[in-house]
Structure 1
Amino acid sequence: MTTKNWPDPKRPSVPMFPERDGWHALGLTNSQVKWWDATNQYWWDSERRYYLTLDEVAFRVPVYRYYGPVLTPTQINEMLAAERQWCADACRAMSFDNHYTKTQRDALEEAETAIRNLGTAP
């Protein structure tokens, strides 16, 4: 039995982001998707006709693999926006560091502006 492919090997059958409902690639092949019901802690089949409890999925861990969450375009955009924000903030903070030359600080300010503008592209 292997639990290494689950986000937390100590909690096989619990998905990444267990506090959120959503689709995950899970099963015998990565072509299967199951719906995670965070409130009830159930896995539903792709048509939401029947569910599997955590214990039922854990029992199948030797043959079930967890491939990861199926992210929506909105979720991907939110993640990218947060990453851009972090990078721009880091550039801004570094641009105030006097250990850098004026040219380097100017370049960091330009990088900050460029990173922030990435999110405004059509």
Structure 2
Amino acid sequence: MTPTTNWPNPERPGVPMFPERDGWHILCGAGSENPTLFWWHAKEQCYTYPQNIMRDGPFLYSVDVARAYIYHGAVLTPTQISEMMAGERERCVAAFSAHGERAELAYNGSTGDEEKQYWRGALNTFEECRDEIRHLGDPS
């Protein structure tokens, strides 16, 4: 892994995940195995190294300087994680919803009892899977 190839968008090395939001990100200096927290300032499009705040006041690192670091990821809050997971569940449902639509069309177009029973079973399976996926994050 090199500093310039592991950023969330390889075409924008130095720019973190969620560049439109302020937040903490974990970076590692090239050649170092010690991860360090950096605060991303969305408005200024730069980082603050928190250890410098305590000693010398804020020191801002530009995106160009950050390119020398290896990006490990954003530090997410539980709310952000829940929102991301809910979005992912909806994308999963959308990915296979065409199968449910086809099953419903086939059920509605069925002429025989056996055929109707088959497509009703397929439609029930789709609906159950859809509902299970949507409720994966619900506390039980």
> Which has more helix, going by share of residues?
2
> TM-score by structure 1 length?
0.78
> Which letter maps to 1:16?
M
Distance 1:70 1:30 in 2: 16
Residue 55 of structure 1 is matched in structure 2 by 64
Q: What CA distance in whole angstroms lies between the structure 1 residues aligned with 2:48 and 2:64?
A: 14
Partner of 1:15: 16
> Could you give the per-residue CA deviations for residues 73-118 of structure 1, whole angstroms, max 9, x where no partner exists?
1111001111222333455543231458321211111112222332
Structure 2 unpaired stretches of 5+: 54-58, 107-117
- 2:40 matched to 1:36? yes
Q: Structure 1, residues 20-74: CA drift from partner, whole Å, max 9, x if none?
A: 111111122452110000101111113571221223333xx1xx21111111111
Check conservation: 1:91, 1:109, Cα contact below 8 A: no
State how 1:1-122 maps to structure 2 within 5 Å. Answer: 2-28=3-29, 29=33, 31-47=35-51, 49=53, 50-58=59-67, 61=68, 64-98=69-103, 101-122=119-140
Q: Is the contact between residue 6 and residue 70 of structure 2 (CA under 8 Å) also seen in structure 1?
A: yes
Larger Rg: 2
| Alpha-carbon distance change, 95 to 19 in structure 1, aligned in 2, over 3 angstroms | same
Q: 1:2 to 1:51 in 2, by over 3 A?
A: closer
Number of residue pairs aligned between Structure 1 and Structure 2? 118
Following superposition, the deviation at residue 9 of structure 1 comes to 3.0
Residue segments in structure 1 that go unaligned for 5+ positions in a row: none
TM-score by length of 2: 0.69
TM superposition shift of 1:17: 1.8
Instruction: Tell me the distance in 2 between the aligned counterparts of 1:111 and 1:30.
Output: 43
